[in-house]
Every structure is written in structure tokens, then in C-alpha cells.
Structure 1
């Protein structure tokens, strides 16, 4: 009797469950999943010094962002200027503490901690040492990444400038250019950090499993994937043998949790669009503006590109994302048969675009801090700002809790073509 052909596998794709024989890459190489093309590892040509250089430079630029005037606003011969922290303190002064806290966390706290972790992990390797704290710090990087929104805030600044250029002159302080450099360097530091490679360097190689060649996914092989370190663990264990994280064959209650967040986001979407998102007091006369009202005003003023950005980011993206998540839930609940690759593309787009809906909230924060000349013009945040922020956060959480591997499970059960 012929013995079955066997092979060794190291890890699996977190998006389609496909088993991967080797995940090792050389500097400058990228390894993708063979089935869905998800990136498993992308190692830069200079995996040690480049992340350290970018991260250190970003921290310096962040310090300079707090050190000088950020922007200046001049109208009718009267001027006012703000510091970077004014975007947060002005919200606190108007009673919007939760939004101010979110700004501080997403623009300062989480990016700074992530940059320090990047420096710490790469510097340890440069000194020929492995870190005993690597497991927890790499998990922290994974948790923080979706909530860092420095790039979104930068786009929000540009949108806010176009909104007020017709009514005043805007000046840029040194801190504004420092913030631009900080945003770009943060992106470079993040892109040059390969967490899969860091796990290998600090914690050691993945433990391989010998399987029959007929097994193509963890589900068929009786294994579970750790979403933090990529180790495969046999079903029956509730803890990763490599990093000691909780492991599950699929995200527990994925569809139910996703649906709950989606319903909550849909509820908050109503007041986010019905109530004013900001209130402009010009010469003592209040002019509250909803999101769609702001789009119409920009269009009437001839600012067509900015009106399009706000319409797309603040109205179309949240609606499209909620519809896409609802469709994914419908697909994953055995009610519709579609190509899993097509469904996965929609899932990836949904995850990518979700955070950009926060642009309008950031625009309000900037305008509230920048435009405050008593007796002439003052901008206040409206009640819709908090609701809209909740919509963005809830849709992000909804997408995070959706397990795309369920789509592939359903497709295999129905015998559909994965192409």
C-alpha cells in the first residue's frame, strides 16, 4: 500500500486559511499567500537601520510639532494663532472631551508608543540581543495599528484650509511643517517594519507540522492559526505554544459581534447626518451646518474637489462600508453563493477605507481651534460630531470582528469555485 505524500507547513494565511510551507524571506522580498495573495511577510532591503532611522526622525518631528505655532488665521485685520495641542484643548473647552481624547490617542499616544517599540525591537537586534518583552510589544503594535490616524488628520487639515480660505488668510507655522514630516516619517517607519520577521528574530522559528499533502487549510488539517505570531496549534489547545495568546479556529461569535457593531453604527448614523456637525457664529449670527449642508456650501463656492472629498469620505464611505459589511454577513451566513476571492476583495476595501471617514471629525476639530475671534467669527462643534465619530469607530470594530475565512468555509461547503 502506497503511503500518502507528506509535506511540512509553517503557518497559514489569516484571510483565507491556506497552509504555507515556508514564510521566510530575504531582505527586499515579499511573500504572498498562494491562494488569495495576502501579504505574509514584506522585508525591506535594510530591515534593521531603516526602521530605527525613520522612527527616531518621526519622534523628533513630533516634539517639534508641539514646540512652535501650528497655524494662524487672519480676518478683517484681526489675527489668531494656535498650537498643535489647540485642536484638542478647544474641544475640551466646548465639552467634547471624548473626541479630544480620541485625537490625542490616535495622533500622539499610539503613534509615539509604536515608534518607541519599533526602535526598541530593532535596536535590540542591532546590538545582537533578543528582547524578553518582544512578545507583548509585538502584540501591542498589532493592536495599535488600525487606530493610528496621523495621515487622516493631515488630509483633514487640507480640507479645513480650503473651507476657510474664502473667508480669511491662513498662515502655516513651523509646527505645521513638522507635523507633515512626522506623518510621512511615521508611514515610512511602519512600512519598513516587518512584524513577521521580528517574531522570527526575537522569538525563534515557527514550529513546523508534518501533514499529508491533501491538507490545504488549517481547518482540514485540524490546526488553528495564532493571529499574533503565526504559529499553528493543534485543535484542542486554547493557547498558542509560541506566544501564549488565546487561539481559536475562527474568531468566536464573529458574525454575531459584527452584526451588533453594524446595527449600533447604523443607529448613530442617523443623528450624525440630521444634527449639525458644526456651528459658525459670524458677527453674532449662528449658522449651524450639517455634513451634507457643508458639501452643498462648498459646491456653491466652487470648491468642487473638496466638496467631492467630503461627500465621498463622510457620506458615501460610511454608507458603502455598512452595506458592504451587511453583504459580507449575508454571504457568510450561507444565504448567498459568491466567489470567495471577490468577497475577500470587498472585505479588504472595507477595512482600508473605514478610518478615512474620520476626516470630517478632524476638520471640525481644526476649525474649532483655528477660527475663534470673539465678536467676529467663532466655530463651535455640533452634536453630530460625536455621533459621526461613533459611526466610524463602530464600523471599524465591525470589520475587525468579521472573520473572512468563514467565506472560504462556506464556499468549500457549497462546492463553489474559489476563483
Structure 2
């Protein structure tokens, strides 16, 4: 469904985060969507039991991120010499000297920022799904998690590595370790979680008065 524009200021308004168009708030039913008529940004996407599904996905992502950072990501064999490396090893390979800033930034973008977003999501969503008052500073935590979203690049890292490794496969024998396939699973779960999350619903739940 498409949200209906309203010309006069009202309390029950929703504003498009992309183009700032204001609409009279009409809540769609489960499975429906409220979409900005101007830029077609999805404004509200309610789903049945979405909260528990997002929590389950967040826990799965949390486990996968930790495992993907520890297990071997790839192995390279050249002239009888073979070496395996994990994601953390690769990210911190240049941690000595002037490249330390680049190494720490890489590690943050592919591991620590996605991990922080998942932990913040659990902190915000678990009390809401359990029908309890929001956690302390939950609104700020959710706002921070959303601000980190463009900088969470675990999936970009996995895709970029796959392309790069295909190109060097003629120079060496390259094998994908378990961490690579864990990152592939992370790509899928990140997309599913992002599609399941209705940000308006979260903000609405955080703004509701606590039950006595």
C-alpha cells in the first residue's frame, strides 16, 4: 500500500527518512507495506512474530561472526608451501608500523562494527519482544546501531575476497576455509534481518509509555 499524503500538520504523521515527505500515519496490516509516494522508500513493514525472528537471526549472526573471525578463512599453496590465515590475521597483518590505522579500521569494518550492531539490536529488541519496558537508553542504542549500518561491511568483505581469490587462482592453489562459508551465510542473514526489521515499529515500541 502507499501512504497517503496529508497537507496539514498533525500528531499522527510519519516522515520519510529519505526525502522528508510527511504523511498521515496509516498503519498497514501484517504483510503489507507503507511506501513513500515520492521516493518509494519503505516506511513501515509490519510482520507477524518479526521480533522473535529478528532476535533469532541476531543470535545466529553473533555466533557466525565470532566463529568466522577465529576459524581459517582461506589457505594458499605455492610450490609445496601452504599457509592458512584467519580473518583477524588478515585484518591485522599490517598492525606494526604506519599501517596500523588501516589494519584496525579493516578489522572494525568487517568484525567489530557488525558485532556491535548485533549486540545493540539484542539489547533493544529483547525487552520489547518480551513485552517489558525498554532497556535503559534503548533509543540511543538503536539510533547508534542505525548510524553504524553503512559502516558494517562484513558482506562486502566476503564478496570482495571471493572476487580477488578467483583472480589469483591461476598463480596459486587457493582453498576456502570454513570462515569463508560462514561469511557467505552472514551475507544471507544480514539481508534477511534487514528485510525483517521494521524500524518504525521499533521506534513506536520505544516511545510507548511503560506499563504499570
Residue 165 (structure 2) pairs with residue 196 (structure 1)? no
Confirm or deny that 1:182 pairs with 2:186.
yes
2: CA distance, partners of 1:99 / 1:204: 42
- The alpha-carbon deviation at position 112 of structure 1 amounts to 0.9
SS in 1 for 2:58: helix
Question: Is 1:163 aligned to residue 167 of structure 2?
Answer: yes
Q: 1-side partners of 2:112 and 2:184: how far apart?
A: 17
User: How far has the Cα of 1:18 moved from its partner?
Assistant: 2.3
Q: Following the alignment from structure 1 to structure 2, what is the Cα–Cα distance between the partners of residues 76 and 64?
A: 30
> Which structure's CA Rg is the greater one?
1
Cα deviations by residue, 1:168-220 (Å, 9 ceiling, x for unpaired): 11112222222222232233223222221101012139xxxxxxxxxxxxxxx
Task: Tell me the matched-pair count.
Answer: 201
Q: Which residue pairs with 2:131 in the alignment?
A: 128
Q: 1:13, 1:40 within 8 Å by CA — same for their partners in 2?
A: yes
Question: Structure 1 residues 144 and 78, CA, compared in 2 at 3 Å: closer, same or farther?
Answer: same
Q: Please report the RMSD computed on the Cα atoms of aligned residues, expressed in angstroms.
A: 2.2
Paired residue for 2:40?
A: 37
Among candidates 153, 172, 196, match of residue 149 of structure 1: 153
Distance 1:17 1:62 in 2: 35
The answer on 1:22 being equivalent to 2:25 is: yes
The structural deviation recorded for 1:115 is 0.8
Matched, 1:66 2:69: yes
Unaligned runs of 5+ in 2: 1-6
> 1:7: Cα distance to partner?
7.5
Alignment of 1:325-364 (within 5 A): none
**CA–CA distance in 1 between the matches of 2:153 and 2:26?**
30
Contact 2:69 2:111 in 1 (8 A): no
Distance 2:94 2:196 in 1: 34
Instruction: Compute the displacement of 1:43 (Å).
Output: 2.7
How much does 1:94 deviate?
A: 6.2
Listed as ranges, the matches of 1:14-413 within 5 Å are 14-93=17-96, 95-131=98-134, 132-204=136-208
Q: CA separation of 1:25/1:101 partners in 2, compared to 1, >3 Å: closer, same or farther?
A: farther
